[in-house]
Amino acid sequence: MLSKVLRTSALILVAIVVTGNSLRAQSVDISAVNPATHTLTITLKGTLGPVLSGSDPLGLDGKKGTVTVLASESLSPTKHTATSATYTLPPGAIKVTAGSNKFTTKSPSKMIINLTSTADILTLMVVDTSTGLTVTDTTYLKAGSWTTAVLKHPGVFTPSPQTLMSATTANGPGCKVKYTIFGSTTVLGFHGTGSSSSTVDPVLPEEDLDLEQ
């Protein structure tokens, strides 16, 4: 009788140990799963003008303009300081509409975020390789729109949306768009709204191997 009790106790102990190890293994697997990747969307929408410098060969003064940026929030800066970060975005990350001109980047572009005491400044530098058009879009957001976390990875700004005020001089503060084409450089003001949002990229289900048999 005693030996039977001992054998039963031993079996229970083995079951507990095996179950415990299995649970620990499961917890390790779960913790090893990477968090969902988020995609940041920034949209700048408004009106171009007035002309602050240059001859405006594309005739964009007074035209509507939209810039849309898509960036993975897992990106790390290619360059940074204590108050700024430069991110290199892949081809296709920025779409630009200015009057009747539309293009999507087909080469890497740059997104620079600079945090200052008077404004958080977003600068986008893009090139349309098909025409040779280069565009630098400078957007002044409210100071404190981003936390310092944006210097490590891209993220949303708040409040969103917020009003964008045009620069009054080519080199002064405020929102403006500089473009160069045909050897001519033009700077225009820009006013409108800026917004940002973040979405979780969909996780595709793993293939069911049983279905292929």
Domain assignment present for 143 = yes
Domain tally, the chain: 1
For the stretch 9-41, pLDDT in tens is 444 443 433 344 433 333 333 333 344 589 999
3 within a domain of the structure (yes/no): no
CA distance 120 to 60: 26
Structural domain includes residue 206 = no
Please indicate, yes or no, if residue 103 is contained in any of the structural domains. yes
Interatomic CA distance for residues 40 and 196, integer angstroms? 7
What pLDDT score was predicted for residue 203? 52
Q: Evaluate whether residue 6 is within a structural domain.
A: no
Q: Quick check: 176 and 190 in contact, CB under 8 A?
A: yes
Does the residue 188 lie in any domain? yes
- Within 10 A of 131 (CB to CB), how many other CB atoms are there? 11
pLDDT bin (cut points 50, 70, 90) of residue 5 is: very low
> Do 42 and 68 form a contact (C-beta atoms < 8 A)?
yes
CB 152 within 8 A of CB 117: no
- Beta strand 101-104 pairing with 184-200: unpaired
pTM to 2 decimals?
0.79
15 falls within a domain? no
15 or 54: whose pLDDT is higher?
54
Tokens 């970060």 belong to which residue?
Answer: 85
Residue 79: C-alpha distances to residues 64, 113, 125, 168 (Å): 32, 11, 15, 30
- Domain residues for 141? 38-199
Q: Evaluate whether residue 69 is within a structural domain.
A: yes
Q: Mean per-residue pLDDT for 93-116?
A: 94
126-171 confidence digits (pLDDT tens): 998 888 999 999 999 999 999 999 999 999 999 999 999 999 999 9
